Structure formats: C-alpha cells, structure tokens
C-alpha cells in the first residue's frame, strides 16, 4: 500500500499515519519527495482497510498494490482450474472449448426445447442452457416457468445426455436448482448479490458467474472470490458485454480482451456469450469466432426452435437451421485451435 | 411502437409483420418513404414484445413509444406520492426535504451509534441510517453485525424517536428486518434483484431503492415498478452516483439531473446520497446543497462518531462535529426552499 | 512514482529498473513485501515516462504520484486566478458568478441576436455568447455564418457593451477571432486539439475550454496546462456534461461535482453549461442553480429569440421570456451566495 | 421521423407541428393512441432539424428513422470500397487483410526506424506507420520530430517500398504531409475536428480516421461522411478502443463488434489497432487475431526497435523479435481467412 500525503501535511499527521500502520501489524517507510511525501506500507494488505487510512487527516490518496482477490488469482494458484463433469466433459485450461446452447427461457412447449437439445447433441455441444427463473427488467415481461421449466430441462437431459445450465436468482431456490441442474448460473444483474454468492460457495455443483453490465474485471474476480472463499472451487466466468455510451448497433460492448486478461490473472475458466453481448443474431458468428481465437474456454449462445415467437430475446437467438450452420463454423475453428494447442505443447516438450 | 423495415424488405415480409401485429390485437399503419418503409403500431404496447418483432425477417429496427413503466409514471398517476410515517414525518411532493444520517455500518460499539443518533436528533434529522447487513465487493471486508446491528438500531430509535433506515440484502431476511426497520433499503448492487423487489412489494413498510451503479433512469423506475406492481406503493428513490470513465477525484458521477427528471416523469419521492455519490467527505456539503436546490426530497449521508476507525466508508463519512456544521448549512437552505415553495404556492393561488 | 514488480521478477530485472531510474537522475528505494516487491521513486516525475518503465521486463504496474499538470495546479499556484476584463468584469475566485448567454449559433437575422443581447443587458448578464463557426456532428447541418457572424457579434457588443464569447475551431482562424471576440472558446470536441491549444497559449485574450464529452478531470486540466504553459494564464474551464450509458432523458450527465473538485485542485475559474449539459430546456433552471450553489464561477446557457426556428439546439434554448424568468431566479441566488461569501469572509477576519 | 406528443398536448399544438412539417416540404400522418398521439413524418429527413421539432410545445420526443450519413452507407452505395495504391496494394472488400506497423513516433535515430521498416518488409507488411506530429495528453511529453520525421519516413519508403501512414493534426500541415505520406491519419482525439475533416475531403490521398475514445459508431461514420462529402471517397476507418469504467487491465475496451457492424452498414474498409486498443503488448496477438477473424480489413500495431527507450507508448510496442513472431501468427491466420473467402466465393458461384 502506498500513501501519498497532502503537500502541507504536518509531522503530527505523518506520525499518526505511521502509528496507525504499526498498530495494524505492518511496516511503513517514509519517503520525502520534492513536492509530496509518500509512505510505503509493507505487509498483508488484505487485513487493512485503505478507506480508513484515506480518512486520516493529511492523507491525499491511498493506492493499494496487492489485489484484494487471492484464491482466484494466479499468484496464489498458478495452475489452471479444469472442471470435470461426471460424464467426462471438461472445461478450462487447455481443454477443447465447449459450446452451451439453448433458449433464453424454457417455455410451455416441451417439444420446442427437445428439438433444440437434439440439434445440440447432433452438433456435439455438451451443454443445454435455458432459464426457468428469468430476471426481466420490466415486471410485465415473462418471468419464467419456474419448477416446471426445471423439469423440462431435466427431461431433455434424460433423453440427450446433455449437461444442464440454468440460472439461480435467489438463495431460497438453490436447493431446488441443485436437484435439476449441472451448472448454476448467476445472472449479470445478480453478480454482486453477495448473499447468493456466499450460499453458492457452500454447494458442490459448478457455478457460472456472468459479468455484471458495469462490473470491472476486479469486481468480476471478487464475485468469484466470494464463491471460492466459501468453499466451492468450481467457478466458470462468463463475459457477456458491458454497458457503454453506444447501444445503437449492439446492446453492449462485448469485451473480448477480458478473455486473455482473465486467463493471465486468474486460473478459472472464462467463456463468452455473444448473444447477450451483442443482442443481434448476425453478430453471434463473428463475435463467437473472435472469442474462441482469443482463448475463450467456451461459448454460450441462444438457440430457439421458433425465434419469432420466443418469450424472450428472440432477436438474438438463432433458429435450428442457423444454429447448425454457425456451429459447423465454430467446430471447425475449435478443431484448429485444439490442433494448434497440442502442436505447441509437443514443440515445447521437444525444446 | 414504430417498426422500420429494411430497405430491401419484400411485400411478404411486410405482410407478415402487419399480420403479427393484428394477431396480437393491435392496429398497424404502413407509411412508404423515399428510402425506407415504416409501420406505426397503435394499441397497448405493454402486451407485445418488441424483440419478437425485431426478430422477424425484413425488420430493421423497432422503437417503442410508450414507456414500459406505468404505475410509477406521472402519466397514469399525476399527483405526487407523499409517504407519511406513524410519527408524522413526511417525504415527497412539496414537503420539506428530510435528512437521513448515520454510519455506513452499525458496529460493535453501541455508544458510537447512540452518539450519532443523539446528534441527528439535536439537528432535527428525522432518520437514522445504518447497515446491519453489508454488501461488500470483497469477501474479506466486514460484512455487518447482522441481527445484533438491528437491535442496536431499534434501541437507538427507542431512545431518540428517530426512524430507522436499513438495508435488506436477501428475501430470507425481510421478515426479520420488518421487525426492526421503518424503511427497508435496497442497495445499488441489488437494484435488479427482481426476486427481492417482488417480495418487498408484498410488505407494508416503505422501501427505498438506490440507483444501480450503471442503471439508466428507465431501469431505475422499472425497479420501483416491480415493488409498486406487487402491491406496495410506498417507494422512495435514491440517486447515489453512476459509474463513469473517471473515478480519480470522485468515486462516481452524482447525477443531480436525475432529480428534476424523475420529479417530471414520476410521482415518487427522490432523494440523493452525496456520500456514496462522491466517496469524499469534502464533497458532501456542495453536492448536498446542489441536490436540495435541484429539488431532492431529502439527503442521505454518512456520519460516524470516529471515521478514522470506521469499519467501512470512513473516507466519505463526517464526524459529529463536521456533521453539525454541514447540517446547519443544509437546514438553512431547506428553510429557504420551503419558504420559496410556500410563497410560490400562495402566488399561484392568487393568480 | 511507485513501481510494482511481478511476483516472479528476477534480481536482474529489479536491478535494471533501479539502474534506469538512476540514469534519469532520480532515486529509488526497494521494499520487499510478502508477495510483491515495490520500488519507490523520488524526484521530479515530470521528466520520466512511466510507460517506458512499464515496458521493462518484470514490471507489473507503475503508479504515478505527482499529477502531470503543474501550472494549473493549486500545489504550485495556491491563489485563485481572477480574470479581469477591460470593462471591469471579473471572473474567478470569490467574485460574483457571471452569466454568459446567447444563441447556439449566430444566424442571418441580426435583429434576433440584438434582441437577445438587449435582454441580456437588461438582466445584468455581462457576456453574449454565439457561434460563428459551428462544429456539427453531421456535414449536412448548418455550419455557421463565419465572419459575417463575427461582425454581428461585434455590432451587438458595440450597442450593448456586452463581452463576446465565441468558438474557435482551427488555428487558421485565431487571428480573425481575436479581432472580434473577448473570450475564445474551445469546443468540447476540440478539447484535445493540441495544435489549437498551443496556438491559443500565444494570444493575449482569455480562452474558455469546454470539457470533452469523455474527458477525465485530469485530461481537462492538462488541456488547460497546454494553454498556460504556452504563455496564456487566462483560462476559464467549462463543465458541459459527459457521455454516459443513459441519454434518454438528458443528452449528457452534467458532472456538478467537477466544480468543487476543480476549485480544490486548481486555481482556474470553472463555469457550467446546463444547456449542453442536459439538452433540455426545463433542466436549465434546476441544474443552473445546482451549479451555482456548488461553487461555479458562472453559467453559460442558450437563449434564442425564436427557438422553434433556431438553426441549432432549439430544444435546449430558452426564449427571451423564459430567459428573463430563469435569470431572475439565478440573480437572486447569486445575490445570496455573494452575501454569504462576504459574510463568511468577515467572520473569518473576526476569528 | 416519428414525433411523440405529450399526453396532454392540445389540438392547437398538434396542428402547429403538422403545419411545421408541411412548411418544410414533408408529409405527416397523425395516429391517435390510447395514451399518446404520434405523428409520422415521411420525406427526406436530412433537410429537417429534429431539435427544432422537439422544441415545439406539446412535443415529448422526436425519433429519427433515417441515418444522417448517406455517402458512407451501404443503403446508397452497396458495393464495398476497395482502395488501390499506386504499387498495387489493396485494402477493403474481400481483399487479403493488410498489416500496418511501425513505431508510435519517429525518433531521432533513423537507424531504429529503418530496422523496423526492413523487418516489416521481410514479413510482408505493406505499410509503415510512424508519427511525426504527436498528439500528447500532456504538454510536457515528446511532441514529435515534425518535418524531420516525415523525411525519415520518406527515406525508409525509398529503401523498402513500403507505403507510409502518418498523422495529420492541423489543417495547416496538410500540404506538407501530402508530400511525404501515402495515407493521412486523423487521430482519435481529432475525430471531430470538423475543419480538418473537411480539408481532408479536398485532397487526393486516402485518409484513415481513428475512432474517437467516446465516439459512437454513428459519430464515427459521420466523421467519414465529412471527408467523403467534401470529395474524397478513399477513407479507411480504424477501431482503436473506447473508454469505459474499467482501465485497470486494458487502457480501453477494444470494440471488436464494430468490425462486423461497420461492414454491414458501410462499404468502407475498417481496420483495428490492438496496440492503442489495449495499451498492453501481450494483448496484441490475441486481439489482433480476434479482429482478423471478425472481418477486419487490416491491423495497425506498434513495433519499436527498442521499446524500453521509446519516446512514447513503449509498453504497448513489440520489439522486432516479438513482431516477427506475432506476424507469423497473423500471416498464417490471414492465409486461412483468404483461403476460406475464396472457397466460399467459388461455392457460391457453383450454387
């Protein structure tokens, strides 16, 4: 931690700061500059609140050096986290990227859902996604089928063997969802619902956290830290676009750079959702390819058997025909990436 | 609703759109322009999902005309909502703006809390705020005293007669909080926790919703619509700053214009939090004055008996001495605003 | 400057960094932490480029401590800058806030302009604003009357004695503008047109710089530093709103907190433009009052004799009637602020 | 254009609006809704200012339907623009993507520049970039070698045959730059320097416009419209990241989706700059690949013979070794994209 003092800070103010640091078990070094004085603090920053130091008289600014996340950081855990599902599917590290597809929300028509699930299986996608509980900005929009939707998802899994990803909106629904789902998803607007994150730290199913619409990468990683620090190491991160000053052509700005950045600073798997990230069907293919080639561990996107009559997000869903066409492109690219990864590894071994 | 067709949309695509509109019980009018064709839709837009229309072939864009909120809008409810508490305190409309003060979080030291409460009472502030459940970005930060904190708040209310405002983070805690609090606050990061909003629609205590760090005014009003449409008309809105590209000097950008805008489009009370809105103690006074003169129905700001040792948000809290000084300024300004309001009303009557 | 090394940085990498610092005439202190090593650099940071240090192997991040602006900072120039015009009008410091009013652009109809100028004079506003060269987002919008417009402004000044504020868009026009204007305004979109800023540093007329739509306060102050460091100390800053994710109700977010922040860190005068800051006529009054009470040295807003037929920005312009009404409110508030300022000073003297 | 009237708008206000539309040579259709009345306007919107309509009494909002850009739009110009240079290099449409590389700024050491140029030639990059006039946020940073730098660039071109891309900052420098450069670049902070854009419309060299740090795609296209409507059809667009609330790990958010969006709505070539877009050397490769696979017509990135001692942007520059390694990856990917493009075309022909 670095403390910059006000230019006119008195010796008493300076002493007060160094005493405060000492009282909290850390060491301080004072540097007198031409214009400003600086105090460097050495020790475990996680135990001290920078805001309290900032509140001391004579302090101009406090800059933290250590990141506040620990368990999700590569510094303390250099090896990639690879999550292995009971049926052998893996996500993370150098594993082949995976596709998660399905409708935004599960609807009354089971036949529609199973059509999508069968197409997903045919194309080699290991995950079926679909919302039973739907967070909607307006109270007048469709809120989801709830438990009925979960039953449909489980039935589709029964038939196809796909793994089920579905959203949890409230701590009270966690045990119900654990009965039906293989991955519990935290929606973007709930990314900082800390009670929910803590509770998800106590289950033994993987959790997928979507990045909040205005969450920094640090806040995103701290949301994961809530889950991991409460006992559940199996967290998947999902970039889905951030808000910007321009939403005319794309609902959000899909932050593709978050993929290589997160792979550098964290060991957790990171996937990308080009459907929510753009809100436009025609952008799923180019942005999905961009995410994969930048290193994403997977893609999640929306497929509906009849997008024109979808209860939600029709404009950003592919129909089954389009899905197959786009997935052929993705699968080809995934094949190349996998081939290159393996070749690179062999080359490294031979070095 | 206005539907703009692609330039090269076919007659069949156009017919499909107008049929879709008719099937949903609305009327359409087609206008052929020089370059683009436009379909105007007349009827209750709340029943139709623009995304489904956007997903039809040949459609370029869909623009909604009606706002999706209804109950919180002045169009359907022109009179101001004024909330009256059992002890006669009022908030909203042309009532005198109110001050809500107290520490960010309730801490172990009850003596500190009661000192602040006594000072608040002395200065004429009707509300004591303080968090018992604390949402914190990092899992390693202080998470609140929980029920113990609520008991302290209730005890302080007992002694001073102040009304208690405190945050609810989870549906499971609502009944507990209703026992202790006069106003249940929804934190900024939970503004779109829709399960929580729905559940708060079913209680009979006023709810205060803080604007999400990247919530548009429309999303903010829709969060209130969730509570009101579920049965609870007593909602207070709280502007607390939005995220921007610049956080060097101020944690957030306090959007003061939200005050006159919301007073124009909605009948609900709107207050401002200059502590969270700026993150800096010295900005509480100028920004509090700015909010009041722009029409805020109240201010909420942080006061701590010993900010240097506060468990959270010390840098943006006033100590008791500073609190009194700033509140004298606010009270003087509130007096003038109230005087001007009354004078204007009398003038209007005499017109 | 604080340099945080990568966790696995080698001794050689560390030595390279300290050597680099020494070679540039500064001192370094190395602190070894539990997880990370930190190098503190003491000396004049303005002479060293942090990016070059960040580019050295083994360096994680570089944090500057000194701000890169110097001449506009209160640290090196504690006294307020007060600009005095030949006719005795003053702006800055504790002087009475001033109003700058007029149409967005000067139009063919001189009668319209002079009507506004006469009303401004009548209401005690010392400045007439109006654009002769207009920056417009679209090439198909009205681009200004150019020199003809300047002549009209000069003619209106002749009759009323008001000072003229008008925009300069290009270095080639500076000498022309100096003939006609009392203050040369740099538009928001030109805030980082550094050639223009440098050239304006070499004239002897005051320059008003509008904040760029996405400029941080630091970038805003650095734009002023360009002018001042090239020889012209008379710079007025103008906050006019920043872009955000929400432009439904207000074109920009007017960052009122920029006023007290800039008054704290800089000695330059800072005014506010509630017309461009919001884009809505009805927001001029509340936001103008908010700016004044937060400490603005003046307001600039748009008045047009016939807003319905204005060539630009009609929706955010007041007509003459509305202008008088709003200005009465502003003048009353300015009177109170001036009274309070003087009283506070007297109190301080008596302390 | 669609005009939404206030709920309580009178018949007189409505009539005034329709008269205004008629007076401007357009037709209007009034639709009475349940809650709101709507007026649809048919005709060429470019001739009418929506702000003036918004300023009429009784008008709630005005929504434009036609985009304000015309010449750069695919609607009026469906074929891709392909720019062909005298030496046969092409950019745009389905041509092979091109690489533009070189140092941020040209420095005193010509030997350094020519080393980069030779490496670029060796790797098959057709463009050498380098700044002679440098826009810098701080007046104390290196401002460029000016004409000397241009001479160096021309000399390097002489030796290698590479095309030269360099930045123009001021209308006064245009003729000088035309003597030395093959492409004149408009920097991000000058994207709305309209005088400069107009002047560049009158030259016969290609112009490359970098997207402003907070420019919407519409504003970006309008900047190009300024150049094209003034007579110069050869404009290259360059996405280089936009400002966001998070700059901890990446200086800007590189908006990769801008590539497929712009290729859909405009016929102009669009390239991507992953150096400025991220500010980090290690992100050039993944983000460059993402841009190429999403359809970029080229990449521009920074290469310096000695990044540790670069006068600017060292942290985001590759050294020559790294450059070759990354370019090998890019060239391989470009080869595949080109192969796929040609195959797809042949398939289409065979359909």
- Residue D180: the pLDDT is 96
Q: Which residue has the tokens 């008195």?
A: A10
Mean pLDDT across chain A: 91
Confirm if A192 and A223 have CB atoms less than 8 A apart. yes
Query: Closest approach of chain D CAs to the CA of A232, in angstroms?
Result: 26
What digits encode the pLDDT tens for the residues B264-289? 999 999 999 999 989 899 999 999 99
Using CA atoms, how far residue A280 sits from A119, A271, C20, D302, D325, in Å, is: 21, 18, 50, 32, 35
Predicted confidence band at D348 (pLDDT cuts at 50, 70, 90)? low
Q: Does B38 sit within 8 Å of D40, measured CB to CB? A: yes
Please give the mean pLDDT across all residues of chain D: 91
Which chains does chain D touch, 3 or more C-beta pairs < 8 A? A, B, C
Structure tokens at B145: 């005293």
Cα separation of the two ends of chain D: 41
Place of tokens 């007041």: C318
Q: Residue for token digits 């060293």? A: C48
pLDDT of residue D154: 96
Interacting residues of C229 by C-beta distance below 8 A, sequence separation 6+:
C70, C71, C201, D139, D140
Is C289's CB within 8 Å of B293's CB?
yes
Question: Could you tell me which chain A residue has the CA closest to the CA of C242?
Answer: A245
Question: Would you state the structure tokens that stand for residue D277, as one six-digit string?
Answer: 């877009």
Distance of alpha carbon B273 from alpha carbon B257, whole angstroms: 14
Query: Within the 308-327 window of chain A, which residues sit less than 8 Å (CB to CB) from chain B?
Result: 308-317
According to the model, what pLDDT value does residue A316 have? 84
D249 touches chain A (CB under 8 A): yes
Rounded average pLDDT over B194-213: 97
Q: List, in sequence order, every residue forming a beta bridge with C185; answer none if it has no partner.
A: C167, C208
Asked if C192 and D313 come within 8 Å (Cβ–Cβ), the reply is no
Name every residue whose Cβ is closer than 8 Å to that of residue C288 and which is 6 or more positions away in sequence.
C272, C274, C299, C301, C326, C330
Interface of A with C in 47-106 (CB under 8 A): 63, 65-66, 75
Say what the pLDDT of residue D35 is: 65
| Interchain CB distance below 8 Å, D2 and B7 | no
pLDDT class of A35 with cuts at 50, 70, 90: low
Q: Hey, are the CB atoms on C286 and B264 less than 8 Å from each other?
A: no
Cβ contact (<8 Å) for A257 and D283?
yes
Distance between CA atoms of residues C137 and D193, nearest Å: 10
More confident residue, D308 or C45: D308
Name the packing angle between helices D258-265 and D217-229 (round to 10°): 50
**Alpha helix (H) residue ranges in chain D:** 11-23, 50-54, 110-122, 147-160, 174-180, 194-200, 217-229, 258-265, 274-278, 284-293, 320-350
pLDDT in tens, B160-201: 999 999 999 999 999 999 999 999 999 999 999 999 999 999
Query: CA-CA distance, C175 to C102, in Å (whole number)?
Result: 23
* CB-CB under 8 Å, D193 with C193: yes
Q: What sign results for the dihedral spanned by CA atoms C175, C180, C186, C189?
A: negative
Question: Where are the domain boundaries for CATH 3.20.20.70 in chain C?
Answer: 83-346
What residue in D sits closest to B31 (Cα-Cα)? D42
A350 has a pLDDT exceeding 60: no
- Higher-pLDDT residue of D168, D31: D168
For residue D236, the SS3 value is strand
Considering only CB atoms, D55 lies closest to which of C198, C213, C308, namely C308
What are the b/e assignments for C55-66, b being 16+ CB within 10 Å? Answer: bbebbebbbebb
Which residue from A290, A287, A271 is spatially nearest to A279, judged by alpha carbons?
A287
Please indicate if any CB of chain C lies within 8 Å of the CB of D284.
no
Cross-chain Cβ contact B65/D247 below 8 Å: no
Give pLDDT < 70 ranges for chain C.
33-35, 44-47, 346-351
The whole-angstrom separation of Cα B63 and Cα D63 is 8
Percentage above 70 pLDDT, chain B: 96
CB-CB neighbors (< 8 A) of B214 in chain A: 212-214, 243
pTM of the complete model: 0.92
CB B285 within 8 A of CB B279: no
**Chain A positions in Cβ-Cβ contact with residue D217 (cut-off 8 Å):** 246, 248-249
CATH 3.30.70.1140 in chain B is located at 2-63
A81-104 mean pLDDT: 97
What residues of chain D lie within 8 A of the CB of C281, using their CB? 55
The C-alpha angle A88, A89, A92, rounded to 5 degrees, equals 125
| Nearest Cα residue to C164 out of C175, C179, C148 | C179
Tell me if D309 and C230 make a contact (CB, 8 A cut-off).
no
Of B245, B260, B282, the CB nearest to C286: B260
The residue among B310, B311, B312, B269 whose CA lies nearest residue B291 is: B269
Q: The tokens of D269 are what? A: 């070539």
Candidates B68, B242, B293, B329: best to mutate against C (most CBs of C within 10 A) is B293
- Largest CA-CA distance found in chain C, in angstroms, rounded: 76
User: Residue B211: which of B224, B226, B198 has the closest Cα?
Assistant: B224
Query: For residue D32, what pLDDT is reported?
Result: 77
Q: Is the pLDDT reported for residue D65 higher than 80? A: no
Contacts of A254 in chain D (CB under 8 A): 256-257
Which chains would you list as touching B if contact means 3+ CB atom pairs under 8 Å? A, C, D
CB contact under 8 A, A42 and C43: no
- Contact C248/B at CB under 8 A: yes
Residue D106 pLDDT more than 90? yes
A and D: number of Cβ contacts within 8 A: 102
The number of angstroms, rounded, from the C-alpha of D25 to the middle of its chain's C-alpha atoms is: 35
Residue D350 pLDDT exceeds 60:
no
Nearest to C52 among D56, D138, D310 (CB): D310
Quote the CA–CA distance of A223 and A235 in Å, as a whole number.
Answer: 10
Beta strand B270-272 pairing with B235-239: parallel
Q: Is D332 part of the contact surface with chain A (CB cutoff 8 Å)? A: no
Query: Tell me, what's the ipTM?
Result: 0.92
pLDDT of residue D311: 78
Per-residue model confidence as pLDDT tens digits over B90-133: 999 999 999 999 999 999 989 999 999 999 999 999 999 999 99
pLDDT above 90 (res D48): no
Determine the pLDDT at residue A142.
82
Yes or no: domain A83-346 corresponds to CATH 3.20.20.70: yes
Determine, for residues D290 and A293 on separate chains, whether the beta-carbon distance falls below 8 Å.
yes
Q: At what angle do helices A284-293 and D258-265 cross, to 10 degrees?
A: 150
C226 and D139 in contact by Cβ < 8 A? yes
pLDDT of residue D332: 96
Q: Is the dihedral of CA D149, D154, D158, D161 positive or negative?
A: positive
More confident residue, C49 or A148: A148
Confidence at residue A78, expressed as pLDDT on a 0 to 100 scale: 93
Query: What local confidence, expressed as pLDDT, does residue C35 receive?
Result: 65
| pLDDT at residue D349 greater than cutoff 60 | no
Alpha-carbon distance A341 to nearest alpha carbon in chain B (angstroms): 35
Name the residue in chain C with its Cα closest to that of A7.
Answer: C75
Q: Which residue has the higher pLDDT, A15 or C34?
A: A15
> What span, in angstroms and rounded, lies between the C-alpha atoms of B317 and B291?
18
Contacts of B218 in chain C (CB under 8 A): 246, 248
- Residue in chain C closest to D139 (alpha carbons) equals C226
Question: What is the gyration radius of the CA atoms in chain B, in angstroms?
Answer: 23
Q: C277, C252 in Cβ contact below 8 A? A: yes
CB interface of D with A, residues 250-279, below 8 Å: 250, 253-257, 259-261, 264-265, 277-278
For B71-88, letters b (16+ CB in 10 Å) and e give bbbbbebeebbebebeee
For A270-296, the pLDDT digits (tens) are 999 999 989 899 999 999 999 999 999
- Give the model's confidence band at A346: pLDDT under 50 very low, under 70 low, under 90 confident, else very high: low
pLDDT exceeds 90 at position A66: no
Both tokens of A296, joined, read 């994403």
Determine how many CB atoms are found less than 10 A away from the CB of residue D179: 10
C-alpha dist (Å) from residue B288 to B189, B240, B241, C277, C336: 22, 11, 13, 19, 17
Give the burial string for B2-31 (b: 16+ CB within 10 Å, else e). bbbbebebeeeebebbbebbeeeebebeeb
Q: Is D12 on the interface with C (CB under 8 A)?
A: no
Compute the distance between CA of residue C347 and CA of residue C341 in angstroms, rounded to an integer.
Answer: 10
Give the whole-angstrom CA distance, residue C212 versus residue C210. 6
Question: Which of D243, D250, D330, D238 lies closest to D282 in space, CA to CA?
Answer: D250
Measure Cα distances from A281 to A98, A142, B55, B189 in Å. 20, 21, 9, 29
Q: What residues does B30 pair with on adjacent strands?
A: B39
**Alpha-carbon distances, residue D88 vs D160, D207, D257, D268 (angstroms):** 15, 17, 29, 18
Chain C positions touching A7 (Cβ under 8 A) are 75
Tell how strand B27-32 and strand B83-84 pair up: unpaired
**Both tokens assigned to A274:** 């080009």
The answer to whether the CB of A93 falls within 8 A of the CB of A81 is: yes
8 Å CB contact of B35 and D244: no
% of chain D beyond a pLDDT of 90: 66
- Report CA-CA distances (Å) from B129 to A142, B72, B182, B277, C279: 36, 25, 10, 16, 36
For residue C274, give how far its alpha carbon lies from the nearest alpha carbon of chain B (Å): 10
CB A318 within 8 A of CB A284: yes
CB-CB under 8 Å, C135 with D51: no
What are the residue ranges of helices labelled H in chain B?
A: 11-23, 50-54, 110-122, 147-160, 174-180, 194-200, 217-229, 258-265, 274-278, 284-293, 320-350
* pLDDT attached to residue A307: 84
The pLDDT > 90 percentage for chain A reads: 66
The CATH label, of 2.40.50.40, 1.10.800.10, 3.40.47.10, 3.30.70.1140, for the domain at B2-63 is 3.30.70.1140
Asked if A34's CB is within 8 angstroms of C29's CB, the reply is no
CA distance C343 to chain D (A): 40
């Amino acid at each position: 931690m670095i403390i910059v003092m006000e230019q006119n800070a008195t010796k008493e103010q300076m002493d007060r700061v160094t005493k405060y640091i000492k009282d909290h078990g850390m060491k301080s070094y004072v540097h007198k500059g031409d214009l400003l004085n600086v105090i460097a603090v050495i020790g475990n920053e996680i135990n001290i609140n920078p805001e309290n130091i900032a509140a001391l008289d004579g302090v101009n600014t406090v800059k933290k050096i250590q990141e506040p996340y620990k368990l999700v950081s590569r510094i303390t855990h250099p090896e990639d986290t690879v999550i292995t599902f009971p049926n052998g599917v893996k996500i993370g590290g150098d594993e082949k990227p995976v596709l998660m597809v399905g409708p935004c929300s599960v609807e009354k028509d089971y036949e529609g859902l199973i059509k999508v699930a069968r197409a997903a299986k045919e194309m080699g996608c290991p995950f079926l996604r679909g919302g039973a509980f739907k967070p909607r900005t307006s109270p007048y929009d469709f809120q989801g089928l709830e438990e009925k939707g979960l039953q449909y998802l489980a039935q589709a899994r029964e038939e196809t063997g796909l793994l089920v990803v579905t959203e949890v909106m409230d701590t009270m629904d966690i045990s119900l969802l654990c009965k039906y789902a293989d991955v519990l998803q935290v929606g973007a607007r709930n990314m900082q619902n800390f009670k929910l994150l803590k509770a998800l730290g106590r289950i033994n199913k993987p959790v997928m956290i979507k990045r909040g619409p205005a969450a920094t990468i640090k806040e995103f990683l701290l949301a994961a830290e809530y889950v991991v620090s409460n006992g559940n190491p199996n967290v998947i991160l999902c970039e889905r676009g951030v808000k910007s000053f321009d939403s005319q052509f794309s609902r959000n700005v899909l932050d593709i750079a978050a993929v290589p950045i997160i792979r550098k600073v964290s060991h957790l798997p990171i996937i990308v959702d080009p459907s929510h990230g753009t809100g436009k069907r025609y952008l799923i293919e180019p942005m999905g390819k961009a995410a994969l080639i930048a290193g994403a561990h997977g893609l999640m996107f929306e497929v509906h058997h009849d997008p024109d009559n979808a209860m939600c997000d029709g404009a950003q869903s592919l129909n089954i025909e389009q899905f197959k066409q786009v997935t052929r492109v993705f699968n080809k690219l995934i094949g190349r990436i996998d081939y290159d990864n393996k070749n690179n590894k062999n080359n490294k071994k031979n070095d």
